[in-house]
Structure 1
Amino acid sequence: MLGYPTSGTKVAVWASKENILPSSFELVEKLSGKTVYTSTDIKFFGAYGPFTKTARLNFSGFKETGEFFIRANGILSPLIIIGNDVYKGAADFCLRYMRQQRSGFNPYLKDSCHTHDGYVLYGEKAGIKDSTHFNTSGGWHDASDYLQYSTTSANATYHLLMAYRDFPQVFGDEKQANGLDGKNGNADVLDEAKWGLDWLIKMHPKKNIMFNQLADDRDHIAMRIPKEDNQYGKGFERPLYFITGEPQQRGKFLNATNGTSSTAAKFSSAFNLGAVLFNNVDRAYAKQLAQKAKTAYHFALIKPGVTQTASVKSPYIYAEDNWVDDMELASVAQNFGKNKLNQKAIVNAFKYAEMEKITPWMQKDTAAHYQYYPFINLGHYELAKQSTKIDKQKIESYYKQGIEQVWSRAKDNAFYRGVPFIWCSNNLTVSFAIQCAWYRDLTGDESFSELEQANFDWLFGCNPWGTSMVYGLPDWGDTPKDPHSAFTHLKNYPIDGGLVDGPVYTNIYKGLIGITLANPDEYALFQSDLAVYHDDYGDYSTNEPTMDGTASLIYLLAAKEAAAQPKK
């Protein structure tokens, strides 16, 4: 666990394979070995996953700082740290992974890759011949593979911009814009967001041209360090998929694209927020972003609907199936930085908000891969802040309804787990924790604070496997050591700060193609018919780090660090 602020919610989970439950527990100071707190504040639960008996041990009433262990029935917990600086630097730590994911010039490798990108496919609608070259070098690799998606990159960029906007005080300046050591007068998170914005500009070079992805799953030929790839049949160039608003097929797989909105709206939102934040840094750049935001919004309206990614060799794509949440955010983002709000933009945003009040995965036990993306309705939060009291309350109620849907599943197990174990479940967990925090901040309602903290704690070790899901964080804890990553597997390069996919339903895991564990499963005792997680590079479903999930986590960690500091 990362730890707890002194005044925060603090709950540990007891889990046993035997029919045993504690009647009380105590906190033991690490340094002195003395018992400093005793409690019977225990909530009992039944079986969960591999465990027969479970319970929640609440020590929120303990307000002292220091390092402690929980002792219950003679068993000691892992180290628990309490203090208002427990989250300090965590968001900046995760920025290391974002820099390491850079395409073009990579500051971690101090080398360049993918400098010849790319050649156009499906560009006929804009009068572009197939194989025409556009300079789209840059951006971030998607995960441990090296293809690049506009939808995830735009969402990641927005989260980084939002983190700087909302919590500028938590970020440092230790890197130059190119990611190398040295201060440049800008917070490192803003530099990283600009890296994303620069690539989005390249992916939307003209008002009638926008690309949805760079490269495809032919990328997955083998693990390698990201030098220049030549498996696409055109030298070192990689394919650029033009957004047509219609299904696209390369090979035998056809996606279900039916519009231009989902990706283009994400572009527009990121550009509008970027324009505001860079206005006092680089006015010419801010003006360019503002113009790109307008053309991207118009592109989103060409054919209302969703744009999915394309695949060639495998059936796995980002099967995004919703788009009105993206249009809601893009509409309300038109008011960013304005003293007088554009009421038409707010009306449009409300229209879209009414079409999807609750992010659909929250109402379900399962979903397709990235079916409802992003995993949180960002537009609701921004719209609530621009709304009158009655309309604000309406939007807040949508967040509450979504939280209640998850809570209806979570309340019956000791981990308060209501997020489905679908692919990238950790990304959903981060997003859900953010939604709980936003609902609390907007309303002052603390009803879901323990649920919010449980989802945060899940990511850092309070889960059936007892492991953090973030590489190297905390440095004293059990964290991924053998992720599905070429950097670690081939070169033993640490991927500091990378959030891995997270556990999946066991039935999903058993149905995936090409998964073979390379080593004995160190978590074998904690696998179950419910869900599995493996710290093994052979498992791309649970242990592959993702760029967009990490960007969302950076926002969440920044929020936690800011909230932990006592108000002055």
Structure 2
Amino acid sequence: MRQNNKLCKIVLAGIAMLGTCGAATLVEAADAGMHVDQVGYLTGRDKTAMVTDSNETDFSLVDAKTNKVVYTGKLSAAKADAMSEENLRTADFTSFNTPGTYKLKVGKRESYEFAIGDNVYAVPSVQTWRSFTLSRCSTPIDDKDVTGLKVKMGHPQDKEAQVYFTDALNQKGDKVDVSGGWYDAGDYGKYTTTGAIAAAELLLAYEAHPDHFTKGQLLFPAGVSSDKNLPDALSEVKYEFDFLKKMMRKDGSTFHKVSGAQWPGFDKSPDTDTQDRFLYSTCTASTAMYGASLAIGARVYKGLDASYAKSLQKDADKVWDYLSKTKESIYRVDEGQESGSGPYNDTNDIQERLWMAAEMFRTTGDKKYEAYLKDNKAELLKAPGFFTWDNTLALAQFAYAIAPKADAGFQAEVKKVYLDYADMIAGKIKNDGFGCALSKEEYTWASTKNAMTQGDMLLMAYQLQPKAEYEEGALAQIHYMLGRNSLDRSFLTGMGSNPPEHPHNRIHESTGAYVPGLLVGGPNHVKGGDPDQTKYLEENKVPVAKSYIDVLSSWSTNEYAIDYTGTAAYALAWFAKPVNVTAKDLKLTREFPSITK
């Protein structure tokens, strides 16, 4: 836990401004209560840090190499923060824009290092997008120049996965090739639900700023195939689409997930987990999410690979035809299907149907999709929450609000509902001591994703109405993610001075390789998330914002998932300009512990 004295361990420094200290370095840890974004701050943007329980009134910035004072300022008055139960003072150094690497000092206390520069998120952005590559199934990976991850071939048995049930289309035991795609999280399941929403997040990030993506950007490791005609980011999403297409059945429905029948041990790497793999369940919500992602893909790839885009649109049409004929919300349950994988049991699919209809309309302009949205006007005009795998209403609203051929009056109604929610998010950020978007009830399983999703929604709102507070609010969520929080903890593996050391990740534990760029769940104040988290909350008086433990077995606070990481990828890509990073820029200089060592 956080201590009041200076910690003496050596930790990983923040990824700083490229050209100054692009590779991670080793530095002495910070004093407690000096809350900074451990990666850095952009020039020309808000730059604030928080200081806990300080009687001092002044702060200074010092050059991290020379210890020379480069800026001084006054701390704000102390203000109680309910979520962390801390009294916070704010150090505002927005006006200081000299690129470099610095520390914040208050009296004798000092912070972790951080950078100021025009492109401080370039390397974290690449690491985050690259983490999808390193989560690939059914491909050999030899990332010797960066992470050291080596996998011969993850789950080759997915070429003959067995259908777990019998229905009108399949017999139990039928074998289907569902090789490829991304592992969902710390286990080796692959899910249509999260695969579709993660692919959509990445595609929407590309669509917002296509100029931020290039060929060669992700430094694909040996053994990894890519489409040389596409920017690396789109080549990576195509790998997931190629898997999801295999999950689609002949009537346009989809299998829900593929996994083993039992949870593999942490000693099992993707190429040593040899248990049979099964295709479980059908789910109209996940089918609709797949259809929505196809519709996005059809327009994003159109100018780069017309034939591929056409194939995605054809499949999207097939999915829509299936959903049009299948009115009820379906989530099939067979005994034993959850024994080795998560359920993702969405039993109300209206939000996902709306999302698909809105994306189809944005892509094609076909008024039949707008007619569907109008027929479900009451649902579409509900106040959204932040989007997630079981409620994509906000994504439906954004897609329709930005669609070029929409009915002006109806579009204005939808746009207002979305922007009203964005304004509410911005208000929460202003009232939180750390500028975090999370309200008390949002510190749940995947709370960091919840915060980043709200930041992404602000960036989407910015595309509808370019208000500066939307961009700054999104940046505040990046700052929170990268260490400007009450735990002084970066929740993105490998990024910042104090990232998770023991993420709930079988690839990490079984191979001994530490993969950077994975977003872990973060604080979870709801008891029952997992045994370790529950015990921690029961035995300690833990403030809401500090309900996090960096232990391997806490899957409700310390596991990553591709849909979590997708939210970070969206935000980081928005603010990161493309640069030619090298393996040296990406290579971490600290070894992280593993049970295999």
What TM-score do the two structures reach when normalised by structure 2? 0.78
Deviation at 1:353, TM superposition (A): 6.2
Q: What is the CA distance between 1:113 and its match in structure 2? A: 2.7
If the length of structure 1 is used for normalisation, what is the TM-score? Answer: 0.82
Distance in 1 (CA, whole Å) between partners of 2:383 and 2:188 is 29
Letter in 2 for 1:328: L
Is residue 420 of structure 2 the alignment partner of residue 394 of structure 1? no
Alpha carbons 2:452, 2:571 under 8 Å: kept: yes
Deviation at 1:80, TM superposition (A): 2.7
Question: How far off its partner does 1:83 sit?
Answer: 1.3
CA distance in structure 2 between the partners assigned to 1:58 and 1:72 by the alignment: 13
Does the 8 Å contact 1:471/1:499 carry over to 2? yes
Q: Does 1:285 align with 2:308?
A: yes
Q: CA deviation at 1:133?
A: 1.2
Structure 2 unaligned segments of length 5 or more: list them: 1-37, 143-149, 580-597
Q: 1 CA distance for matches of 2:44 and 2:208? A: 22
Quote how far apart the aligned CAs of 1:144 are: 1.3
Mark the CA change 1:264 to 1:181 in structure 2 (over 3 Å): closer, same or farther: closer
The aligned counterpart of 2:367 is: 343
Distance 1:54 1:326, change over 3 A: same
Q: Does 1:14 align with 2:51?
A: yes
Instruction: Return closer, same or farther for 1:315/1:498 CA change in 2, 3 Å cut-off.
Output: closer
Query: Which amino acid letter does the alignment assign opposite residue 396 of structure 1?
Result: K
Q: Which moved more, 1:526-535 or 1:200-209?
A: 526-535
Q: Give the deviation of 1:131 after TM superposition.
A: 1.3
Q: Does 1:428 align with 2:450?
A: yes
Distance 1:209 1:347, change over 3 A: closer
The SS at the match of 2:532 is coil
Deviation by residue 1:110-136 (Cα, 9 ceiling, x = unmatched): 52232233112334133x211111111
The aligned counterpart of 1:504 is 524
The answer to whether the 8 A contact 1:272-1:293 is kept is: yes
The equivalent of 2:110 in structure 1 is: 76
Quote the residue 1:28 is aligned against: 62
Structure 2 letter corresponding to 1:60: T
Answer whether contact 1:216 1:312 (CA < 8 A) is retained: no
CA contact (8 A) 2:48 2:94 kept: yes
Q: Distance in 1 between matches of 2:167 and 2:131?
A: 37
CA RMSD, 1 decimal: 3.4
Q: 8 Å contact 1:465–1:526 — kept in the other structure?
A: no
- 1:312 equivalent in structure 2: 338
Q: Structure 1 pair 335/361, CA: closer, same or farther in 2 (3 Å)?
A: closer
User: Could you say if the C-alpha distance between residues 526 and 512 of structure 1 is closer, same or farther in structure 2, counting changes exceeding 3 Å?
Assistant: closer
Determine if contact 2:226/2:232 at 8 Å carries over to the other structure: no
Query: 1:337-370 CA deviation, whole Å, 9 max, x = no partner?
Result: 55xx32332343355564154665559xxxxxx6
CA deviations on 1:30-70 (whole Å, 9 max, x unpaired) are 34434333333626421445544113332223333222222
- The answer on 1:465 being equivalent to 2:479 is no
Q: Give the Cα–Cα distance (whole angstroms) in 2 for the partners of residues 138 and 309 of structure 1.
A: 25
Moved more, 328-337 or 86-95: 328-337
> Deviation at 1:405?
4.4
Quote the Cα distance in structure 2 between the aligned partners of 1:242 and 1:177.
34
Pairwise CA distance, 1:402: 2.5
CA distance in 2, matches of 1:392, 1:59: 40
- Deviation, 1:188, is 1.4
Superposition deviation, residue 412 in structure 1: 4.1
Q: CA deviation at 1:196?
A: 0.9
Is the aligned partner of 1:241 residue 2:316? Answer: no
Gaps of 5+ in 1: 246-259, 364-369
Instruction: Give 3-state SS (helix, strand or coil) of 1:379's partner.
Output: helix
How far 1:458 moved relative to its partner? 0.8
Question: Deviations 1:125-156 (Å, cap 9, x if unpaired)?
Answer: 33x21111111111111111111110100111
In the aligned structure 1, how far is the partner of 2:113 from the partner of 2:134?
A: 30
Task: Kindly state the Cα deviation for residue 316 of structure 1 after the two structures are TM-superposed.
Answer: 6.0
**195-204 or 399-408, which moves further after superposition?**
399-408
Spell out, residue by residue over 1:76-120, the C-alpha distance to the aligned partner (whole angstroms, 9 max, x if none): 222231111112243222122111211111424352232233112
Alignment of 1:267 with 2:277, yes or no, is: no
Is contact 1:358–1:401 with CA below 8 Å preserved after alignment? no
Please tell me whether the aligned partners of residues 252 and 315 of structure 2 are also in contact (alpha carbons under 8 angstroms). no
- Aligned twin of 2:397: 380
CA distance in 1, matches of 2:332, 2:532: 25
Q: Does 1:294 align with 2:317?
A: yes
Please report how far the alpha carbon of residue 494 of structure 1 lies from its aligned counterpart in structure 2 after TM superposition.
1.5
Check if 1:537 corresponds to 2:552: yes
Provide Cα deviations, 1:485-517, integer angstroms capped at 9, x if missing partner.
223223320212111111110x42xx3444389
Alpha-carbon distance change, 51 to 228 in structure 1, aligned in 2, over 3 angstroms: same
- Structure 1 residue 187: Cα displacement: 1.5
On the 8 A contact 2:263/2:339 being kept in 1, the answer is no
- Counterpart check, 1:136 vs 2:178: yes
1:272–1:333 CA contact under 8 A, matched in 2: yes
- Give 2:241's aligned residue: 197
Conservation of the 8 A alpha-carbon contact between 2:119 and 2:577: no
Q: Does the C-alpha gap of structure 1 residues 478 and 37 become closer, same or farther in structure 2, counting only changes over 3 Å?
A: same
Q: Where do 1:156-235 residues align within 5 Å?
A: 156-174=198-216, 180=224, 184-215=228-259, 218-220=262-264, 222-227=266-271, 229=273, 231=275
2:459 aligned with 1:437, yes or no? yes
Q: Percent identity?
A: 21
After superposition, the C-alpha distances for 1:427-483 in whole angstroms (9 at most, x for unaligned) are 112211011122233212234554333222111001111121111124xx2112221
Q: Is the 8 A contact 2:524 2:556 kept in 1?
A: yes
Is the partner of 1:213 in helix, strand or coil? Answer: strand
Amino acid of the structure 2 residue aligned with 1:271 = L
Contact residue 147 and residue 214 of structure 1 kept, 8 A: yes
Query: 1:294 Cα deviation (Å)?
Result: 0.5
Q: Please give the residue correspondences for 1:55-70 in structure 2 after superposition, counting only pairs within 5 Å.
A: 55-70=89-104
Residue 119 (str. 1) matches residue 158 (str. 2): no
For the 8 Å contact 1:268–1:296, the answer to whether it is kept is yes
Contact preservation (8 Å) 2:269, 2:506: yes
Which one is further off, 288-297 or 162-171?
A: 162-171
1:180-216: CA deviations, max 9, x gaps? 3888242111111001110111001423442111126
The 1:74/1:353 distance shift into structure 2, 3 A limit, reads farther
Find the aligned partners of 1:192 and 1:563 in 2 and give their Cα distance. Answer: 16
Q: For 1:328-339, list aligned pairs within 5 A.
A: 328-336=354-362, 338=364
Task: Rate the CA distance shift 1:554–1:353 in 2: closer, same or farther, 3 A.
Answer: farther
Q: Identify if the C-alpha distance between structure 1 residues 58 and 525 changes in structure 2 by more than 3 Å, giving closer, same or farther.
A: farther
Structure 1 counterpart of 2:474: 452
Once the two structures are TM-superposed, the CA of residue 395 in structure 1 deviates from its matched residue by: 2.9
Alpha-carbon contact 1:470-1:480 (below 8 Å) kept: yes
Aligned pairs, number: 521
Structure 1's 309 and 95: CA in aligned 2 closer, same or farther, altered over 3 A? farther
d(CA) in 1 for partners of 2:563, 2:140: 18
Residue type of the alignment partner of 1:415: F
For 1:328 and 1:178, the matched residues in 2 are separated by 41
Q: Which moved more, 1:110-119 or 1:75-84?
A: 110-119
2:79 to 16, 38, 45: 45
